[in-house]
Structure 1
């Protein structure tokens, strides 16, 4: 099966979306599919050299960075060049995570008979569901989703709560839940606590309120308990968290790093014995998503503390792989004290993390999608060519 996966993430880049796209494509290859990953090229360096630098793998992975100048910040020319490449190079299956490419994907379906699938990383169809302020960009995403999704052959979702929404708003459309995967990581044989909390992910303040965790840490006077934060996209974000830690008089217990990948990330993960997944419950997508940071912790059998949200609760059981709590400094403080109070209890959660992490490998995700494409809900004989009944 020949699959092309299209992502507008920068190559190379520091976005979590790039990590998702690369490991997703790698999973397809491991599952036996002929998968090409197309990315927004930002360098002329050889692909395998960049791949090894970013992710530490010596293996080959078919990645095609398509370079194109931006027009007023838009990646229109990237989408156009990607379309022209695919128009002249056969593929059976096209999966894209970018609504801006859906017009071109539908055109390829019309001209070349390509089966197209949208992999959603949000839900824009009904903006009234969102509590956050709605921008012009959000409204545009909503229009694109409502117009082009009915013309796709199926939708791939990241969590079951997300899938339920798409099934409600697009009845009759094939919708598949395929959870993100866990990366190959070293599982440390822990003999005791290192007392090192670790947060991996974006520092965007309104989405990921690290301040709540910092306040909880400040309330715990035990100097052994520290926090590593990984994922700042620039010095401004690092400085902001540094200032908050300094104002709480815990700067000597907080380490802050930019987004890192490969061996550097693995070294930092090896120091963490309790993961932190703090997400704002006010952000719509946070309530639906399966955060990649949770998968990072599962990959190393690291118990964690996470905000109690639908997407997380659909995957994680409270007090089994970790603790699910509400976002108050008091609850975070109580959870940190609880998880560090009993090492045998902690070890049992670590075992459960290892079991679940083994079930969620990227290869397993890919096999589930391939099965759906070949004989499941995405099988070709089950699919209408156009769910709108209209042409382009």
Structure 2
């Protein structure tokens, strides 16, 4: 199956949607193409004047591959479905057509696709896999009364996960929970991937003394902590850049910095294309931050994409020592207790003020990045798909 398999990813968000969701699906699909497999991404059309081939390099920072096809599907309402159902239908119909020529592996994170996946899984040439990014099948861990959408997702998972080929978990702790819920189902635990970049001038990077926070701008992701730490770091000549969130979030951070006279030391940029973020990290990134709050979701169910960005550039990262962060950073991480700004600043300065310690931290980050690349993830998923026949 491995050498002839067609791989299909379906994501119902729009092409170039801000944030990591479409970006991660694209990189998943692209990783299979780099192995020489025919790989297809079905996604919402986005703006009509966008051109997928140009956007791969210009927006997403990926090299086009002859093995990768991006299918941008216009949103149209269909019978008994919402406007995004046209994307699902196009993807599923393509899978069924391709299965007449050989085996197909379908991957998605869209729960609404589970009934169709269960149906087409009856075809022995089609393998269907659900990539999990949350835990809905058991809602007992949530601190609030389940909402209607969460209950819907719960019953979709309960009813249809046993009927598909396998589950792709993004953390080991997530896999353990789903194995308990669905003991007969095939599972695999793999973090999302890295893209190791060419080695940079380590000493120039250290002297840049610029710390990056990448991601959403809400408290559980550590942004409030970093706003406090950034003020302290500025006193030691360390700049902090916040990348992510919306313009209103970036504006709030910039205004707070201006009020303290720190506008040259603290900057904030709303969600930008991955290519722009990578250019900024490559140009001046000295340290990265993964200070996730110790919530149930953060501890067990998330794979911090920001950590993968830092590793890809060989940038040492400071983070909380919760399982999800350790699973990605491993020995390359520098762990600090949640909420301890003094210890955080000391850890950052301990690296930035010591060339030898910094160079060793970069070496460990590069070593870890090489272990969890997108290509290695794709190879593992190919083996998993073959074993689920």
> Which residue number corresponds to residue 211 of structure 2?
197
Match of 1:166 among 178, 194, 217: 178
Decide whether the 8 Å contact of 2:318 with 2:336 is kept in 1. yes
Decide whether the 8 Å contact of 1:154 with 1:174 is kept in 2. yes
TM norm structure 2 = 0.88
> Which residue number corresponds to residue 77 of structure 1?
86
> Which residue number corresponds to residue 385 of structure 1?
none
Rounded Cα–Cα distance in structure 1 between residues aligned with 2:193 and 2:135: 20
Rounded Cα–Cα distance in structure 2 between residues aligned with 1:362 and 1:40: 23
Match of 2:29 among 16, 19, 25: 25
CA deviation after TM superposition for structure 1 residue 147, in Å = 1.5
> Which residue number corresponds to residue 295 of structure 2?
282
> Which residue number corresponds to residue 55 of structure 2?
50
Unaligned residue ranges in structure 2 (runs of 5+): none
> Which residue number corresponds to residue 12 of structure 1?
16
CA deviation vs aligned residue, 1:211-263 (integer Å, no higher than 9, x gap): 2112122234535201011113x321212222343455533311111222354
* 1:361 aligned onto 2:373: yes
Decide whether the 8 Å contact of 1:275 with 1:305 is kept in 2. yes
Match of 1:351 among 315, 340, 363: 363
14-23 vs 297-306, which moves further: 14-23
> Which residue number corresponds to residue 332 of structure 1?
344
* 1:302 aligned onto 2:315: yes
CA deviation vs aligned residue, 1:114-165 (integer Å, no higher than 9, x gap): 2211111112111111336643222222222112111111101111111111
CA deviation after TM superposition for structure 1 residue 96, in Å = 1.2
CA deviation vs aligned residue, 1:171-218 (integer Å, no higher than 9, x gap): 121110122111242331222432100112222x14323121121222
Any idea what SS the aligned residue of 1:322 has?
strand
> Which residue number corresponds to residue 243 of structure 2?
230
Rounded Cα–Cα distance in structure 1 between residues aligned with 2:85 and 2:36: 32
CA deviation vs aligned residue, 1:62-105 (integer Å, no higher than 9, x gap): 11111113699762333234334434443621111111111121
32-41 vs 350-359, which moves further: 32-41
Decide whether the 8 Å contact of 1:131 with 1:284 is kept in 2. no
Decide whether the 8 Å contact of 1:105 with 1:116 is kept in 2. yes
How well do the aligned residues superpose, as a CA RMSD in angstroms?
Answer: 2.4
Rounded Cα–Cα distance in structure 1 between residues aligned with 2:193 and 2:154: 27
CA deviation after TM superposition for structure 1 residue 33, in Å = 2.0
Unaligned residue ranges in structure 1 (runs of 5+): 381-392
CA separation of 1:307 and 1:248: change in aligned 2, threshold 3 A: farther
CA separation of 1:76 and 1:110: change in aligned 2, threshold 3 A: same
* 1:379 aligned onto 2:388: yes
CA deviation after TM superposition for structure 1 residue 364, in Å = 0.7
* 1:207 aligned onto 2:220: yes
Rounded Cα–Cα distance in structure 1 between residues aligned with 2:301 and 2:109: 16
Rounded Cα–Cα distance in structure 2 between residues aligned with 1:7 and 1:188: 34
Decide whether the 8 Å contact of 1:218 with 1:249 is kept in 2. no
